[in-house]
Amino acid sequence: MNIEDSVVLVTGANRGIGQAFVEAFVQAGAAKIYATARSLDSLQEVVAISPDRIVPLALDVTNPDQISAIAATTQDVTLLINNAGVSGTGGFFAPSTLETARWEMETNYFGTLNMIRAFAPILKQNGGGAIVNLLSIASLVNVPVFASYSASKAALLSLTQGIRAELASQRTLVVGVFPGPVDTAMAENVPLDKVPPIQIAQATLQAVKQGIEDVQPDPVSEQVFAGIRQDPKAVEKQFAGMLPQS
Ligand SMILES: NC(=O)c1ccc[n+]([C@@H]2O[C@H](COP(=O)([O-])OP(=O)(O)OC[C@H]3O[C@@H](n4cnc5c(N)ncnc54)[C@H](OP(=O)(O)O)[C@@H]3O)[C@@H](O)[C@H]2O)c1
């Protein structure tokens, strides 16, 4: 797909990887970028990157009425970036696990599903376009220190595969991105090497241009993919080993 002249909508565009996507699309020559976030005020710095091409909009992906209203006013979108996401910490036996798990599923899974259901007809009317879902290496293997987050991202991988099949007939490219640790607020307490968010955005833009469906945007992602091809059980054990031993 051609990035130049595309009309992009990014969720969670006010910071982190979402803001990096806006920067990358400006550099790549996108015609218009709808930068969306829960708070319009939080988008001021992002709009300043290119005020003539960036349109700020308030959007909480867990609010179906707001999604419908935004979809009605952004009928020119050709590229949807489902970036908004949340992550709690801890395993499945923490006191707050059920509440955390529901919050993660509401945002990461149901929020993305609602966005896709609203925007698939728009992409169809505009010739097919593309959908990008921000998955994670935690979509491929459970990372027990982010247990329920991993489950929500695994559900999002299954969703990504399903919509890819269903939207093939309308020629919508469906891309899944599988980052390892990225240097944003979400991973601030992760004691591992992290790549800058712009690396994730640029690798994804290349994939969209080339029609690549599964994006491994950093070395950790490449290692996990290689490990799973070779010995998936060993990868599971490796991540299980990150838990403190009692
Ligand atoms: N950082 C990593 O290591 C890493 C690795 C793999 C995948 N990812 C994925 O990459 C995506 C971006 O993460 P990030 O690292 O940039 O995290 P981040 O810095 O914590 O940013 C998360 C973004 O999501 C937005 N958001 C949260 N709930 C929302 C909702 N209900 N509606 C709309 N926006 C909402 C946040 O907005 P507010 O400012 O309003 O909270 C913020 O813009 C996520 O899907 C994440 O799971 C991150």
Give residue 57 CA to ligand 1 midpoint distance, Å: 16
186 lines ligand 1 (CB under 6 A): yes
Ligand 1 neighbourhood includes 184 CB (under 6 angstroms): yes
Reference 10, options 18, 113, 120, 153; nearest CA is: 18
In this predicted structure, what is the pLDDT of residue 243? 84
Question: What is the average pLDDT value for the chain, to the nearest integer?
Answer: 97
Residue 189: which residues within 8 A CB-CB, separation 6 or more?
89
Q: How far apart are CA 152 and CA 102, in angstroms?
A: 9
Q: How far is the CA of 83 from the centre of ligand 1 (A)?
A: 6
Alpha-carbon distance 32 to 94, whole Å?
44
Per-residue pLDDT in tens (0 to 9) along the chain, 246 residues: 999 989 999 999 999 999 999 999 999 999 999 999 999 999 999 999 999 999 999 999 999 999 999 999 999 999 999 999 999 988 999 999 999 999 999 999 999 999 999 999 999 999 999 999 999 999 999 999 999 999 999 999 999 999 999 999 999 999 999 999 999 999 999 988 999 999 999 999 999 999 999 999 999 999 999 999 999 999 999 999 988 776
* Residue 18 beta carbon below 6 angstroms from any ligand 1 atom: yes
Atom of ligand 1 lying closest to residue 38 CA: 40
Among the listed residues 156, 55, 62, the one whose alpha carbon sits nearest the alpha carbon of residue 103 = 62
Ligand 1 atom with the smallest distance to the CA of 183 is: 1
Alpha carbon nearest to ligand 1 atom 8, residue: 136
d(CA 139, CA 150): 6
Please tell me if the CB atom of residue 176 comes closer than 6 angstroms to any atom of ligand 1.
Answer: no
Cite the DSSP H helix spans in the chain: 16-28, 44-47, 64-73, 97-104, 112-125, 147-167, 197-210, 219-230, 232-240
Indicate the residue type of 84: A
Measured N-to-C along each axis, helices 147-167 and 112-125 cross at an angle, to the nearest 10 degrees, of 20
CATH of 7-240, one of 3.40.50.720, 3.40.50.10140, 2.20.130.10, 3.30.70.60: 3.40.50.720
Which residue CA neighbors atom 17 of ligand 1 most closely? 186
Please tell me the chain's helix, strand, coil percentages from 3-state DSSP, rounded to the nearest 5. Answer: 50, 15, 35
Question: For residue 38, how far is its CA from the centre of ligand 1 (angstroms)?
Answer: 11
Integer CA distances (angstroms), 235 to 137, 215, 227, in order = 11, 19, 6
Domain ranges of the chain: 7-240
